Amino acid sequence: MPVKKKSTTKKTVKKKVAKKTIAKKKVPSAKKVVKSKVIKKVAKKTVKKLAKKVAKKVVRKIITPKAPKIKKIIAPQEFKGGENIVYPTHGVGRILTIEKFQYDLVEEQLYVIQFFQDKLTIRVPFSKAKLIGLRNITSKPSMTRTLSILKQKPKIKKAMWSRRAQEYDQKINSGNIKLLSEVVRDLFRKDDQTEQSYSERQMFQVAFERYAREFAISSDMKFEESSAKIVEILNKR
């Protein structure tokens, strides 16, 4: 029986100690609890706002980068729309219009040119017009002076046709009206003269048509009239 008494005393001692420790702990007041909840809510809101701002900045940087600057090439306009011009490698043409063109963040103005002989339309930037050799139609006095070249006897070199053809081709595509008239003079054949090869006839036709078209525009006549006059001069020599 004395053993039972000891066990009861130990249990009672443990209960008393637990009650004392609970009593020592202070229970927080209702005001403090409300304040802490409010602080937590405000802290959460501010964190969310900051997170949204940061996310927006990051998205803007990634999705909407700064638009690159377009470089504008400014060059003088030497020709007007509707004006007739000479392009060395294509002959006489007319500027249909002037338009802007953008490529690789570069913007510049172009001549839109249509050619009578090749039935071709090309675009030439203002900045490359001089480099290409784009020029005005030869004036009437200068054109009439070139007619004296047609009256001369042909000057045919004693060389292989391949070499002469290369020289003629360079003269035709030079854009120089005097050199062009020399090709017309040298490659023209009368009906009673020896026949030409196919390549000679083709080269003469290109040179003749370019010369006749420029002569027609400078002299304010039709292409058929200028062609007939050139043939007449060539036959009289």
Domain ranges of the chain: 34-66, 71-136, 140-236
**From the CB of residue 52, how many other CB atoms can be counted at a distance below 10 Å?**
10
Question: 9 or 221: which carries more pLDDT confidence?
Answer: 221
Q: Among 94, 138, 129, which Cα is nearest to 115's?
A: 94
Residue 151 is predicted with a pLDDT of 94
**In the predicted structure, residue 231 carries a pLDDT above the cut 60:** yes
Residue 181 contacts residue 201 (beta carbons within 8 Å): no
Lowest-pLDDT range of 62-66, 168-172, 195-199: 62-66
Q: Among 105, 106, 82, 103, which Cα is nearest to 94's?
A: 82
What's the length of the chain? 237
**In the predicted structure, residue 54 carries a pLDDT above the cut 90:** no
Average pLDDT (153-168) is 91
Which CATH class, in words, describes the domain spanning 140-236?
mainly alpha
Residue 159 is predicted with a pLDDT of 86
Question: 228 or 4: which carries more pLDDT confidence?
Answer: 228
pTM beyond 0.85: the answer is no
**In the predicted structure, residue 67 carries a pLDDT above the cut 90:** no
d(CA 189, CA 150) in angstroms, rounded, equals: 12
Give the dihedral sign, CA 12/18/21/27. Answer: negative
**In the predicted structure, residue 3 carries a pLDDT above the cut 50:** no
Structure tokens given for 19: 């009650």
Phi, psi dihedrals of residue 148, rounded to the nearest 5° = -65, -25
Average pLDDT (42-47) is 62
Residue 6 is predicted with a pLDDT of 47
Please, what is the average pLDDT of the chain? 82
Lowest-pLDDT range of 14-23, 79-88, 162-171, 225-234: 14-23
Structure tokens given for 162: 């391949």
Instruction: Classify domain 71-136 at the CATH topology level.
Output: Thrombin, subunit H (2.40.10)
Average pLDDT (169-188) is 96
**In the predicted structure, residue 33 carries a pLDDT above the cut 80:** no
Residue 44 is predicted with a pLDDT of 66
Average pLDDT (131-135) is 96
